[in-house]
């Protein structure tokens, strides 16, 4: 926010007329994987969600408090609300939040789940596991956005569902269930 404020002179671009774009990105998820205890929790989450996708039990409505999804999604939601409060205090009134770009069509995500399930999960289960995982992450951020919207009615929040756009694009290209080995084949026609 401070960099955006410095780069745009207030006399030319009044803060209240600026659009602030917040990309929630997947960096928090990737950085969390560097911590071995969180990686272990992710493995347990993936196994639990994979079992649910196989019909062994019901998928959870909310992430467990002490789980990778629970810990990282709560942290991401807290950081998002903190950033939105800071934007409001600086006078921003229009904010576009790009939701987590997490989709089962991302080869790295598919590869991670495949590795964490020792390669035993069929493609449909990998997709279902990722959808459950991303639904739980998205719910935490949606809850944070709804809470902020209630606290700050003067700020207009616009939400871009980047994952849905990725899903639509990958389905249209027939790449919605590809793994890492497919990346060169997907890029070859474009190069």
pLDDT tens for 77-104 read 999 999 999 989 888 899 999 988 888 8
> Do 17 and 79 contact (CB within 8 A), yes or no?
no
User: Parallel, antiparallel, or unpaired for β 156-160 and 19-23?
Assistant: unpaired
How many whole angstroms separate alpha carbon 137 and alpha carbon 74? 9
Q: Which residues contact 50 (CB under 8 A, 6 or more apart)?
A: 113, 117, 121, 125, 126, 129
How many whole angstroms separate alpha carbon 72 and alpha carbon 28? 7
20 vs 45, residue with greater confidence: 45
- pLDDT surpasses 90 at 53: no
Name the token pair of 104.
Answer: 């089962």
DSSP three-state, residue 161? coil
How many whole angstroms separate alpha carbon 107 and alpha carbon 178? 6
Give percent of the chain with pLDDT exceeding 90. 35
Eight-state DSSP code of residue 182? G
How many whole angstroms separate alpha carbon 48 and alpha carbon 58? 10
What are the tens digits of pLDDT across the range 28-45?
778 888 888 999 999 999
What are the tens digits of pLDDT across the range 132-178?
998 998 898 899 999 999 999 999 999 999 888 888 887 777 666 66
pLDDT at residue 29, as a whole number? 79
> Do 68 and 38 contact (CB within 8 A), yes or no?
yes
pLDDT at residue 91, as a whole number? 86
């Amino acid at each position: 926010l401070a960099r955006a404020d410095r780069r745009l002179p207030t006399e030319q671009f009044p803060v209240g007329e600026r659009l602030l774009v917040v990309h929630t990105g997947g960096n928090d998820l990737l950085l969390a994987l560097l911590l071995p205890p969180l990686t272990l929790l992710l493995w347990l989450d993936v196994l639990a969600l994979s079992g649910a996708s196989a019909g062994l039990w019901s998928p959870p409505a909310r992430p467990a408090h002490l789980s990778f999804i629970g810990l990282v999604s709560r942290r991401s939601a807290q950081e998002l609300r903190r950033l939105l409060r800071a934007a409001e205090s600086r006078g921003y009134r229009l904010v576009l939040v790009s939701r987590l770009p997490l989709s089962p069509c991302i080869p790295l995500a598919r590869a991670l789940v495949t590795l964490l399930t020792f390669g035993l999960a069929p493609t449909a289960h990998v997709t279902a596991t990722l959808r459950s995982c991303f639904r739980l992450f998205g719910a935490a951020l949606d809850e944070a956005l709804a809470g902020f919207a209630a606290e700050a009615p003067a700020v207009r929040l616009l939400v871009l569902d980047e994952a849905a756009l990725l899903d639509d694009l990958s389905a249209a290209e027939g790449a919605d269930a590809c793994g890492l080995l497919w990346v060169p084949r997907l890029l070859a026609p474009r190069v």
